[in-house]
């Protein structure tokens, strides 16, 4: 594999960062005695010390580590605040996401180059080294620019001795190609899963979970393709809300989605400008999320007067699509979100609708008692580990632990049980997760069906999804559920199962 392919397969849109040496700022020799240490609370690096794109990338990476910030929420804010031009914004985005995606791989490279475990390196300096390693191994940024700017960062966040250490480690990394470092890293792998974890920069437990999920469909041989897809930058996908988006709105978009009948891929421009310009009639939404919502709304013809519920609606994207579908068919949607801040996001998302949509803030696990046999259709987009969206939230792979799966299982089971009780006889529930982990998907559904004692049956979810899909999804023979995949469908790894309550 060439260096270019190594960058694109495992570092996102790595080669998008062209040689920035000409625009790199001169480095200051200012003393760093007053700079915060790696153990101190993070403070932004002064703008006159480091080229803006690198400075912002470092700030976001450090905030992810120190305060569990979400890069996809923080980065756009920092870019806007700094008023970066298009090229610098693209570079900051590549450096941030590329470094976070490949953190596991870069840590192994750094440990070899530094001849010490990364746990022995000051955390702030380790962030600098990760950012520098990404520039050296996965972009066309000139070596001197990557190293010198990293040393400048080290001056701001570490001690005087840390600058020499940073310079030495990055100089060592720069003397070998990305392919050579790959070979050295893989030599230390202890088994197949550890090798895949090292090469594709995923924790080994996630590699094993993905293997099991693919094995359930008979596609275990696609594991490397899935891991590689997780390291590619996701397309900017938009939804045109049915019955609300105009022809003029749609003309602002690029190509239609391959599968979703209401989705588009944005080919250029600022997506959030489009959201504002169209008053939310067009909005950012992954194609997989669109399919999940449409599986419920198009499971059967809508009957006027139906009542629908989005049980865990935050942040509101699926609720907006469901509300527009319900409105077109004469049904009514209620959205529910327990967390007040997320409920506010739901209300904002629903502002595109001409009529107000009620937003409740109640515990979803109580819905079966408080509103028994009330709703004709319920979407349960259950809280989950989010392992299906690692392209968009790369830091999640390092933040989640196997324990999180077990901790969520009780909540997922409680929610699905409550949702089934809140269905009218004959009503349909869509159980959805943005995770392919079988303990969050098939296991939860199987337990719910068993506990329902014959009053709940699984619908042919694959047939429903295929009925409105614009192209063949090539789904496996197991039609009780649908598992979408980044490497196969270009979507987040959404899991969808349709369950129907009996009429008795």
CB within 8 A of 161, min separation 6: which ones?
none
How many angstroms separate the CA atoms of 222 and 311, rounded?
34
> Kind and range of the H or E element at 10?
helix 3-10
Among candidate residues 434, 462, 484, 499, the one labeled active-site is 434
* Helix segments in 360-491, DSSP class H: 367-370, 396-399, 402-422, 442-451, 461-468, 486-489
Contact assessment for residue 130 and residue 138, using Cβ atoms and an 8 Å cutoff: no
Contact assessment for residue 185 and residue 173, using Cβ atoms and an 8 Å cutoff: no
| Tokens read off for 160 | 């005087």
52-67 and 143-157 are packed helices; what angle lies between their axes, rounded to 10 degrees? 50
* Helix segments in 122-279, DSSP class H: 123-138, 143-157, 160-174, 178-187, 192-200, 204-215, 223-230, 247-251, 271-277
Task: Tell me 256's DSSP state.
Answer: B
Binding site for S-adenosyl-L-methionine: residue ranges?
A: 312-318, 337, 363, 381
How many angstroms separate the CA atoms of 12 and 102, rounded?
9
Other beta carbons within 10 Å of 224: 14
How many angstroms separate the CA atoms of 383 and 386, rounded?
8
How many angstroms separate the CA atoms of 46 and 361, rounded?
42
Concatenated DSSP letters for 390-419? TTT-TTHHHH--HHHHHHHHHHHHHHHHHH
Radius of gyration of the chain measured on its C-alpha atoms: 24
CB within 8 A of 477, min separation 6: which ones?
none
| Tokens read off for 151 | 């040393």
CA distances 73 to 12, 60, 76, Å, are 18, 10, 6
Verify whether residue 384 is a known catalytic residue. Answer: no
Report strand pairing: 423-433 vs 495-501.
antiparallel
List residues with catalytic annotation: 434
């Amino acid at each position: 594999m060439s260096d270019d392919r190594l960058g694109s397969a495992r570092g996102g849109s790595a080669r998008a960062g062209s040689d920035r040496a000409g625009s790199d700022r001169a480095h200051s020799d200012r003393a760093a005695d007053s700079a915060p240490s790696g153990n101190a609370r993070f403070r932004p690096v002064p703008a006159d010390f480091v080229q803006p794109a690198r400075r912002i990338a470092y700030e976001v990476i450090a905030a992810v580590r120190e305060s569990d910030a979400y890069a996809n929420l923080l980065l756009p804010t920092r870019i806007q605040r700094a008023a970066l031009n298009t090229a610098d914004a693209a570079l900051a985005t590549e450096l941030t996401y590329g470094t976070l995606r490949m953190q596991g791989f870069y840590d192994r490279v750094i440990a070899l180059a530094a001849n010490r475990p990364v746990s022995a390196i000051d955390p702030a300096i380790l962030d600098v080294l990760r950012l520098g390693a990404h520039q050296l191994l996965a972009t066309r940024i000139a070596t001197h620019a990557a190293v010198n700017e990293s040393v400048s960062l080290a001056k701001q966040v570490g001690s005087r001795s840390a600058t020499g250490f940073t310079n030495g480690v990055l100089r060592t990394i720069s003397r070998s190609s990305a392919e050579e470092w790959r070979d050295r890293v893989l030599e230390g792998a202890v088994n197949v899963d550890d090798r895949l974890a090292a090469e594709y920069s995923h924790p080994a437990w996630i590699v094993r979970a993905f293997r099991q999920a693919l094995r359930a469909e008979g596609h275990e041989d696609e594991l490397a393709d899935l891991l590689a897809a997780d390291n590619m930058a996701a397309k900017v996908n938009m939804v045109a809300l049915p019955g609300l988006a105009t022809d003029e709105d749609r003309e602002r978009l690029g190509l239609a989605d391959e599968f979703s009948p209401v989705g588009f891929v944005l080919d250029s421009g600022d997506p959030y400008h489009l959201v504002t310009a169209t008053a939310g009639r067009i909005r950012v939404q992954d194609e997989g999320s669109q399919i999940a919502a449409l599986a419920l709304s198009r499971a059967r013809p809508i009957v006027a007067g139906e009542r629908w519920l989005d049980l865990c609606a935050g942040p509101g994207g699926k609720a907006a699509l469901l509300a527009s579908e319900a409105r077109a068919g004469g049904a009514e949607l209620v959205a529910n979100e327990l967390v007040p801040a997320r409920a506010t996001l739901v209300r904002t998302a629903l502002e595109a609708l001409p009529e107000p949509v009620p937003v409740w803030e109640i515990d979803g696990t109580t819905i079966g008692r408080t509103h028994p046999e009330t709703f004709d259709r319920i979407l349960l987009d259950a809280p989950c580990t989010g392992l299906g969206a690692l392209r968009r939230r790369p830091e999640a792979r390092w933040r989640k632990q196997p324990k999180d799966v077990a901790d969520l299982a009780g909540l997922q089971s409680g929610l699905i049980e409550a949702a089934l009780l809140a269905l009218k006889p004959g009503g349909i529930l869509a159980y959805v997760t943005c995770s392919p982990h079988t303990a969050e998907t098939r296991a939860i559904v199987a337990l719910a069906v068993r506990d329902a004692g014959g009053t709940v049956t699984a619908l042919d979810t694959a047939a429903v999804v295929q009925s409105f899909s614009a192209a063949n999804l090539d789904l496996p023979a197991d039609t009780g559920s649908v598992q979408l995949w980044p490497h196969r469908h270009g979507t987040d790894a959404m899991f969808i199962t349709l369950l129907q309550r009996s009429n008795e």
